[in-house]
Amino acid sequence: MKDASPQTIFLADYTPPAYLVEDVHLTFRLAPSATRVISRIRFVPNPDAKSRDFFLHGQELTLIRATIDGAEVTPEITEAGLTCAVPDAPFTWEAEVEIDPAGNTALEGLYMSNGMYCTQCEAEGFRKITYYPDRPDVMAPFTVRIEGDAPVMLSNGNPTGEGRGWAEWTDPWPKPAYLFALVAGDLVAREDSFVTMSGKEVALRLWTRRGDEGKTAFGMEALKKSMRWDEEVYGREYDLDIFQIVAVSDFNMGAMENKGLNIFNTSAVLASPETSTDANFERIEAIIAHEYFHNWTGNRITCRDWFQLSLKEGLTVFRDQQFTADMRSAAVSRIEDVMALRGRQFREDNGPLAHQVQPDSFVEINNFYTATVYEKGAEVIRMLKALVGDDDWRRALDLYFDRHDGQACTIDDWLKVFEDTTGRDLSQFRLWYKQAGTPRLTVTDDFAEGTYTLTIKQQTPDTPGQTDKKPMLIPVAVGLLNPNGDEVVPTRVLEVTEAEQSFAFEGLAAKPIPSLLRGFSAPVILTRDTSAEERAFLLAHDTDPFNRWEAGRALAKDVLTAKVTGRDGPERPYLDALAALLRDEGADPAFKALALRQPGEDDIAQTLFDAGHSPDPDRIHDAAETLKQQAAEHLQDIIPRLAAEMTIDAPYAPDAEQSGKRALRLGLLDLTTRLDGGAEAEAVHAVADNMTLSLGSLGCLIEAGRAEAALAAFHARWQDDALVLDKWFTTQIVHAAPGDAVSIAERLSRHPDFNMKNPNRFRAVFGALAMNPAGFHAADGSGYRLMAEWIARLDPVNPQIAARMTTAFETWRRYDGDRKQMIRGALEGIARTPGLSSDSGEMVARILG
Ligand code: ARG
Ligand code: ZN
């Protein structure tokens, strides 16, 4: 059955549920195409409700029978669920439904992946399993009995019984249905245990398909570190006898925090040095922490409705960022977080999909699991912490856990905790949740009679449906340096609250050099007329590592935008500063590697567009290539020595130190390839004994146009490892010359190993094409046509992934008239697809505007 015609849901329409659930008992009789689900649910009227209408969500279910207090009833079935006359008193509802896991290619609800049963219920997948009030403010304890012939059958909570062909699980903690999970299959576990701060022993299990058990050691260690960290930093203890993670090959996102039974995309948990890159290891550690941290921020305290999504996601992303900063290098992880924020969230915020951290309406909630809700939401929380200070932050979090444990909450509940802790009025700060768009800060300065004055103007641009924005409360961390590079005023947080505001620093001997927005203290775009000399000075001397990196990046952007627009740029100061940094023995390799990395082509396109140009993707690509060539030539004396210093004798470890060295080695290899045509890359590739160097050198070989044999060998060696094969698909497209990217993607979409039903594989090809801007935006429109054709083809199979892929087009308004017209045509073609899902329909409509 197709969805009912798409409806817009509004935050303002929230009403409490008519009935609450006291407890739930589910029995699953598993069969691939005809699973029976028998539910027994005790409902009680909600004293706070405004109506007594009984409605249960349900989609794609076949109702076999239903009873109320044992008496058969005939509910009225609609496309969205069912209604039924019920007593105005507590009652027991029982129903039996049939569902088809094997036919479920949308990977939402109960589905099959490689012969294994698994579930994904967030946000609204539980309604595809049985009739239920599928909304997060209805919380209940669940008991689940699973009947089937799978050797391993799991659900949330603690095991409470098993026998031949059945297993029973009981989760005592009341939870919303979106946290329900079930897994059944022929699985193997890595087993371990953890003793909590109060001395309770928790069994840990990391489950995989047979054959993958060699890739679970790192994930298990990451889990134990996360459990310890949440105790030490937030006093949060785990609350069941067992914690389980299951790796699933077909999964729409990274992972899911189901209570006591996290389900992970294999790509977000399985790792080994031979098959995973340093970046993979780092991401896995962060995602395991993220899902584990949800046990408190998300599960024990959940969301009242989906407009509160950032309550759990913004906070949990912030917590996983803190964890990564503690486990690795704080400076490097902050830089990486900001690069990701700019690459994904600023892009979103500056286009037709811009939306609030707390939206006021949506059609399909799955379309709002976005960089804005997640990453900007985390930045908002980071600012809150900076504003109240570390001590009040910790006191407020204690109060939050204390006051709201077991509840379904709102973002306003969260802010109230901070108001009550600090006595501060946060109404202006709350605008960060309600005003979409990236604020622009413009800074000017002045020095007279020992007083240095910074004047800061703020302005937030219009976004779809939102104009005339109010000034926000923006924490701007500032430090001042003297011309020798000494810090004369240490970091101070200026609280900008007005459209224009000045801040004075007195008693200075000479005009200082300002280091603005240290640590990227607010998610804004800051501009100030700054000379190349000053940027080079900050790159050499800033005591704030983020701003040191930022100065280099700003310089590189100046160079690239000047090249594209045919102006003279600061190549010389940039290259000299880079050389000085690479020679600096005090700077660590990870930092040097980040500084060596050029700003992305998409970033340059947005910058040019903001400055009033319509960016030409080919020229941007040429400028980036030219600058790389110049850097290679300019740095050629330093490179060989520095590269040699990056040799690692110790056995492979995916830690911060070794990863930093490998990142720098590969950054240098990329430059060397410009000089030797790939000779050294070939040598590195031939002996690489870890995936980081193997894949990195392969990328260089592709760019040098001499990868044919290496690619064939790589495929032959890894054809049975899906996660490595994904990399094989991706790297060929990402590193393709712009003129070849589309035809390579097209050819790979016909490869026997391509399978659009697997989200990782689909993204490995089409996500990769979108990451090659000059290729995707080919002037003949071939990239647009190929992308649109595959989105339309995927939509009936997996609407969530299809809808997500439409964001490849979200920047379309930047480009010239011909490209705009072709993109519009491509989007309109998707929109016309018969039976298009509401997921993709909503996205295309919003992108077209
Ligand atoms: N809550 C999960 C996480 O952040 C992600 C769920 C995404 N769900 C979705 N329908 N897109 O870890
Ligand atoms: Zn999350």
- Beta strands 440-448 and 525-527, pairing class: parallel
Q: Are 815 and 615 in contact (CB under 8 A)?
A: yes
Angle at 601 between CA 598 and CA 604, to 5 degrees: 90
Tell me 270's DSSP state: -
3-state per-residue secondary structure call for 461-482: CCECCECCCCCCCEEEEEEEEC
Q: Is the pLDDT of residue 2 over 50?
A: no
| Residue 172 CA, distance from chain mean position | 30
- Beta strands 35-45 and 91-99, pairing class: antiparallel
Cα–Cα distance for residue pair 110/128, rounded to 1 Å: 7
Taking residues 129-138, report their average pLDDT: 98
pLDDT of residue 6: 81
Which of 256, 317, 800 is the pocket-test mutation for ligand 1 (most atoms within 8 Å of CB)?
Answer: 256
Which residue is associated with the tokens 């072709």?
822
Tell me 599's DSSP state: P
- Ligand at minimal distance from the CA of 306 is 1
Taking residues 217-237, report their average pLDDT: 98
Residues 6+ positions from 622 with CB-CB distance below 8 Å:
none
pLDDT of residue 309: 99
Taking residues 159-179, report their average pLDDT: 98
17 falls in which pLDDT band (50, 70, 90)? very high
Q: How many CB atoms lie within 10 A of CB 279?
A: 15
Residues with CB under 6 A from ligand 1: 122-123, 253, 255-257, 290-291, 313, 366, 369
pLDDT digits (tens, 9 = 90+) for 377-431: 999 999 999 999 999 999 999 999 999 999 999 999 999 999 999 999 999 999 9
Angle at 371 between CA 821 and CA 290, to 5 degrees: 150
pLDDT of residue 37: 99
Reading the block at residue 601, the tokens are 């082509």
pLDDT digits (tens, 9 = 90+) for 424-471: 999 999 999 999 999 999 999 999 999 999 999 999 999 999 999 999
pLDDT of residue 677: 98
294 CA: nearest ligand 1 atom = 12
Reading the block at residue 455, the tokens are 């004047």
Taking residues 714-724, report their average pLDDT: 98
Name the 3-class secondary structure at 574.
helix
Q: Are 663 and 278 in contact (CB under 8 A)?
A: yes
5 falls in which pLDDT band (50, 70, 90)? low
Q: How far is the CA of 253 from the centre of ligand 1 (A)?
A: 7
Taking residues 491-499, report their average pLDDT: 98
Residues at Cβ < 5 Å from ligand 2 ion: 313, 316
Name the 3-class secondary structure at 66.
strand
Q: How far is the CA of 308 from the centre of ligand 1 (A)?
A: 13
- Ligand at minimal distance from the CA of 251 is 1
What are the φ and ψ backbone dihedral angles of 734, each rounded to 5 degrees?
-65, -40
Taking residues 756-783, report their average pLDDT: 98
Which residues on adjacent β-strands are paired with residue 183? 154
114: left (phi over 0), alpha (psi -120 to 50) or beta: left
Which of 121, 253, 264, 303 is the pocket-test mutation for ligand 1 (most atoms within 8 Å of CB)?
Answer: 253
Q: Is the pLDDT of residue 1 over 60?
A: no
Q: Are 92 and 41 in contact (CB under 8 A)?
A: yes
Q: Are 107 and 252 in contact (CB under 8 A)?
A: yes
Residues 6+ positions from 750 with CB-CB distance below 8 Å:
none
Catalytic residues: 291
Cα–Cα distance for residue pair 815/613, rounded to 1 Å: 9
pLDDT digits (tens, 9 = 90+) for 561-597: 999 999 999 999 999 999 999 999 999 999 999 999 9
Reading the block at residue 14, the tokens are 């929230």
748: left (phi over 0), alpha (psi -120 to 50) or beta: alpha
Q: How far is the CA of 242 from the centre of ligand 2 (A)?
A: 20
Question: By 3-state DSSP, what share of the chain in percent is helix, strand and coil, each rounded to 5?
Answer: 45, 20, 35
Taking residues 335-356, report their average pLDDT: 98
Q: Is the pLDDT of residue 4 over 80?
A: no
Q: How far is the CA of 313 from the centre of ligand 1 (A)?
A: 9
| Nearest CA residue ID for atom 1, ligand 1 | 256
pLDDT digits (tens, 9 = 90+) for 52-75: 999 999 999 999 999 999 999 999
Taking residues 535-539, report their average pLDDT: 97
Cα–Cα distance for residue pair 285/504, rounded to 1 Å: 43
DSSP 157-215: SEEEEEETTEEEEEEEEEE-GGG--EEEESEEEEEEEEE-TTS-EEEEEEEEETT-GGG
Which of 108, 121, 122 is the pocket-test mutation for ligand 1 (most atoms within 8 Å of CB)?
Answer: 122
Taking residues 722-738, report their average pLDDT: 98
Reading the block at residue 653, the tokens are 């470890």
Reading the block at residue 799, the tokens are 């609407």
- Ligand at minimal distance from the CA of 255 is 1
pLDDT of residue 3: 46
- Please report, as a single letter, which amino acid is at residue 832: R
Which residues on adjacent β-strands are paired with residue 265? 248
Q: How many CB atoms lie within 10 A of CB 607?
A: 19
Residues 6+ positions from 416 with CB-CB distance below 8 Å:
none
User: Predicted ipTM?
Assistant: 0.98
| Nearest CA residue ID for atom 9, ligand 1 | 366
CA atoms within 13 A on the CB side of 3: 17
Q: How far is the CA of 315 from the centre of ligand 2 (A)?
A: 9
Taking residues 652-668, report their average pLDDT: 98
DSSP 616-665: -HHHHHHHHHHHHHHHHHHTTTTHHHHHHHT---SPP--SHHHHHHHHHH
